[in-house]
Amino acid sequence: MTKYQNNLAFARQLDKTDPVKSFRTRFYLPKVNGKPALYFTGNSLGLQPKSTRKFLQEELDDWASLGVEGHLHARRPWLYYHKFSKKALAKLVGAKPSEVVAMNQLTVNLHLMLVSFYRPTKERFKIITEHGAFSSDQYAFESQIKFHGLNPAYALIELKPRDGESTLRTEDILAAIEANKDQLALVIFGGVQYYTGQFFDIGKITMSGHAAGAVVGFDLAHAVGNVVLNLHRDEVDFAVWCNYKYLNSGPGAIAGAFVHESHANRANLPRFSGWWGHDEKERFQMRKGFKPMAGVDGWQLSNVPVLQSAAHLASLQIFEEAGIKMLRRKSEKLTGYLVYLLDQIDPEGKYFRILTPRNPAERGCQLSIFIHQNGRKVFNRLTKAGVIADWREPNVIRVAPVPLYNTFEEVFRFSEILKRSL
pLDDT digits (tens, 9 = 90+) for 395-416: 999 999 999 999 999 999 999 9
Residue 207 confidence (pLDDT): 98
Was domain 57-320 assigned CATH 3.40.640.10? yes
* Contact assessment for residue 346 and residue 352, using Cβ atoms and an 8 Å cutoff: yes
pLDDT digits (tens, 9 = 90+) for 118-172: 999 999 999 999 999 999 999 999 999 999 999 999 999 999 999 999 999 999 9
Alpha-carbon gap, residue 344 to 10, rounded angstroms:
15
Residue 268 confidence (pLDDT): 87
* Contact assessment for residue 253 and residue 308, using Cβ atoms and an 8 Å cutoff: yes
Residue 224 confidence (pLDDT): 98
* Contact assessment for residue 128 and residue 176, using Cβ atoms and an 8 Å cutoff: yes
pLDDT digits (tens, 9 = 90+) for 347-364: 999 999 999 999 999 999
Residue 291 confidence (pLDDT): 94
Pairing outcome for strands 100-102 and 256-259: antiparallel
Closest CA to 333 of 230, 419, 411, 224: 411
pLDDT digits (tens, 9 = 90+) for 3-38: 999 999 999 999 999 999 999 999 999 999 899 999
Domain boundaries, the chain: 8-48+324-421, 57-320
Options 1.10.150.130, 3.90.1150.10, 1.20.1740.10, 3.40.50.620; CATH for 8-48+324-421 is 3.90.1150.10
pLDDT over 90 percentage in the chain:
98
Q: Render 203-233 in DSSP notation, one character per residue.
A: HHHHHHHHHTT-EEEEE-TTTTTTS---TTT
Cα separation values, 79 from 62, 72, 293, 299, 301, Å: 13, 6, 15, 16, 14
**Residue partners of 219: CB distance under 8 A and separation at least 6:** 106, 110, 133, 134, 137, 188, 189, 190, 191, 239, 240, 241
Q: For residue 314, which amino acid is it?
A: A
Other beta carbons within 10 Å of 215: 24
pLDDT digits (tens, 9 = 90+) for 254-313: 999 999 999 988 988 999 999 999 999 999 999 999 999 999 999 999 999 999 999 999
pLDDT digits (tens, 9 = 90+) for 59-115: 999 999 999 999 999 999 999 999 999 999 999 999 999 999 999 999 999 999 999
Other beta carbons within 10 Å of 323: 13
Q: Which of the four pLDDT bands, split at 50, 70 and 90, describes residue 1?
A: low
Residue 357 confidence (pLDDT): 98
Q: Render 347-374 in DSSP notation, one character per residue.
A: TT-SSEEE-S-SSGGGB-S-EEEEESS-
pTM score > 0.95 for this model? yes
- The overall average pLDDT reported for the chain is 97
Can you tell me the mean pLDDT for 231-239?
98
- Alpha-helical (H) ranges within 279-323 are 306-322
pLDDT over 70 percentage in the chain:
100
- Shared fold status for 8-48+324-421 and 57-320: no
Residue 33 confidence (pLDDT): 87
Angle in degrees, CA 185, 175, 183, rounded to 5: 25
Q: Which of the four pLDDT bands, split at 50, 70 and 90, describes residue 2?
A: confident
Alpha-carbon gap, residue 24 to 276, rounded angstroms:
37
pLDDT digits (tens, 9 = 90+) for 194-207: 999 999 999 999 99
